[in-house]
Amino acid sequence: MKAGNVYLQDLSRGIINENPVFRLLLGMCPVLGVTAFFINGLGMGIAATAVLIASNVVISALKNYIPSQVRIPCFIVVIATFVTIIEMVLQAFQPDLYEALGVFVPLIVVNCVILGRAEAFASKKPLLRSLVDGIAVGIGFTLALGILALVREVFGQGTILGPDPDSAIQLFGAGFEPMGLFGQPAGAFIALGLLLGVVNIIFKKFNIK
């Protein structure tokens, strides 16, 4: 196998075969918490991706200097540092998104997707592959959040690009009664379950493992 293919493989594995949400069911807390609106879901995905890429790179670069006994606290400190940076940057430059994501931004620290990649991949693999892995898993996570949030927003609110009334597009006429359930956390479970079913059917059909 050619060397270039390793990166391509990492990329497709992170996005499709081992999609953190649809295949591994990791990091469910933000997945269910912030996906009532597409913009929020996407914002959360991008914030988590930024943290994931940064922590993957740094942890991969430091892997030879960190003794295995204290690796988990070191990983957590690295991740927490980047989360705090993201939090401060969001608060300064994207205050609306910061408000909308609320407590879920600091909670990225304990998102098991990120610690999972640090432990399972970045701490063992070379820097460049860890970077690709971070990008891939991040895209996979963002994609899943985006799809789930889109479904929930369309059914639960009848809009896309809400909740800001300036950008929100009403999809249906005035007579449309949104399915409030999909706006609620319980509806997130139901929507996620249905999406998982659809993803499984697609995977079976194309024989992807």
- CB count in 10 Å sphere of residue 131: 20
Applying CB under 8 A, which part among 83-91, 112-120, 139-147, 201-209 lies near another protein?
83-91
**CA 37, CA 194: separation in Å to the nearest integer?**
18
Give, as one character, the DSSP assignment of residue 68.
Answer: G
**Is the backbone of residue 85 left (phi > 0), alpha (psi -120 to 50) or beta?**
alpha
Residue among 14 and 33 whose Cβ is closer to another protein: 33
Positions in 138-167 near another protein (CB under 8 A):
none
Smallest distance from another protein to CB 56, Å:
16
Site for another protein in 20-39 (CB under 8 A): 33
Q: How far apart are CA 150 and CA 129, in angstroms?
A: 31
Tell me which of 2, 3, 5, 92 binds another protein, using CB under 8 A. Answer: 92
184 binds another protein, rule: CB under 8 A: yes
Of the candidates 67, 165, 173, 175, which one interacts with another protein according to CB under 8 A?
A: 67
Q: Identify which range of 69-77, 112-120, 149-157, 174-182 contacts another protein by CB under 8 A.
A: 69-77
What is the smallest separation between the CB atom of 174 and another protein, expressed in angstroms?
22
Q: Min. distance of Cβ 65 from another protein in angstroms? A: 7
Q: Within the chain, how many helices (H) and strands (E) appear?
A: 9, 2
Residue 40 neighbours by CB under 8 Å, 6+ apart = 34, 97, 100, 101, 149
**CA distance from start to end of the chain:** 20
Tell me which residues touch another protein (CB under 8 A).
33, 62, 65-67, 69-70, 73-74, 77-78, 80-81, 84-85, 88-89, 91-93, 95, 102-104, 184-185
